[in-house]
Amino acid sequence: MELTVNDYKSNVKPIWCPGCGDYAVLNALLRAFAQLQLDPARTVVASGIGCSSRFPAFVKTYGIHGVHGRPLPLATGIKLANPDLTVVAVGGDGDGFSIGGGHFPHAARRNIDLVYIVMDNSIYGMTKGQPSPTSPEELKTKASPYGTLEEPLNPIMMALAYDATFVACAFSGQLKEMIELFVQALQHPGFAFIQVLSPCVTFHNTYDLYRNNVRPLPAEHDPADKLSALKLALETEVQYTGLFYRNASRPAYSQLQRQLIEQAGRKTLEDIFNAYKP
């Protein structure tokens, strides 16, 4: 029987603020699951802490709502324990690039076979609007009345520098394009990172900004050209969306893991003991 979007929805209703960009991200991921006919019993969603990290409760798959900044360690452990599962890690910009920022480069360099979706609203929405690692410089909010002093991080540049094998950016105001990127990411054999520009309508509403500044990547851009991807990620006049980079030829960690297990399995216990003899 063909699964529909409703087959992936849990009975828990999302409790985000009306208009939050995360609703569209949830809708897009459910539609991507249905398009690929993923088995809910073999799909896992792991999250950290934050508005967006409530995600697993709204999806009828296996899921775990973990601790702040730790969706990638959770997702990595799940994938290594059972490589046959489809694993998705979700979180926000504070969760992923601040307290959890140290996990990002290692998941990317290992090429863990999972999808990492960061819903980037450039603010700490759950804790009343403090600037986040991606907040624009001099952003003024009630929590930062004199403006933030730090320059924002560039998540796409970070992912490319960490050698992630799939790097993309989406905007929650463009559902069709986001679904297409999610489908591609779920089919990618390796670490797939997607930054979703997902506005917070309560503390830092960027819908109008993104509607004016978001542009699809140039038609001539080749996702296999990493140097071109880096140059486009450095653009400041516009915010490009689409697939910046993809490298499907590099083996995923789970593939290397299976090879290692097979290699180790050829050795007897005596072989192992002998290796440690003086």
pLDDT digit string, tens, across residues 205-214: 888 888 889 9
On whether residue 271 sits in a domain, the answer given is no
Asked if 34 contacts 3 with a C-beta cutoff of 8 angstroms, the reply is yes
Taking residue 11's Cβ as centre, other Cβ atoms within 10 Å add up to 7
Structural domain boundaries, residue 154: 5-251
SS3 (DSSP) at 45: strand
On whether residue 236 sits in a domain, the answer given is yes
On whether residue 29 sits in a domain, the answer given is yes
The count of C-alpha atoms lying within 13 angstroms of the C-alpha of 278, restricted to the half-sphere facing its C-beta, is 0
Q: What is the pLDDT of residue 3?
A: 96
Task: Tell me what percent of the residues of the chain surpass a pLDDT of 70.
Answer: 100
Taking residue 254's Cβ as centre, other Cβ atoms within 10 Å add up to 21
Confidence class for position 258, pLDDT limits 50, 70, 90: confident
On whether residue 259 sits in a domain, the answer given is no
**Mean pLDDT, residues 113-126 taken together:** 91
pLDDT beyond 80 at 272: no
Total of domains in the chain: 1
**Mean pLDDT, residues 167-175 taken together:** 97
On whether residue 265 sits in a domain, the answer given is no
Phi, psi of 89 (to 5 degrees): -105, 135
Taking residue 259's Cβ as centre, other Cβ atoms within 10 Å add up to 11
End-to-end CA distance of the chain, in Å?
A: 61
Average pLDDT, the chain: 93
Confidence class for position 274, pLDDT limits 50, 70, 90: confident
Among residues 210, 218, 138, 229, the alpha carbon closest in space to that of 171 is found at: 210
On whether residue 85 sits in a domain, the answer given is yes
Please tell me the least confidently modeled range out of 23-32, 84-93, 195-204: 195-204
Query: Beta strand 166-171 with 239-246: parallel, antiparallel or unpaired?
Result: antiparallel
Asked if 253 contacts 110 with a C-beta cutoff of 8 angstroms, the reply is yes
Q: What is the pLDDT of residue 269?
A: 77
Fill in the DSSP letter of residue 230.
H
> What CATH number does the domain containing 174 carry?
3.40.50.970
On whether residue 34 sits in a domain, the answer given is yes
What are the tens digits of pLDDT across the range 32-62? 999 999 999 999 999 999 999 999 999 999 9
Q: What is the pLDDT of residue 48?
A: 93
On whether residue 270 sits in a domain, the answer given is no
175-214 burial code (b ≥16 CB/10 A, e <16): eebbbbbbbbbbebbbbbbbbbbbbbbbbbebbeebeeeb
Find where tokens 């140290």 sit: 102
Taking residue 242's Cβ as centre, other Cβ atoms within 10 Å add up to 18
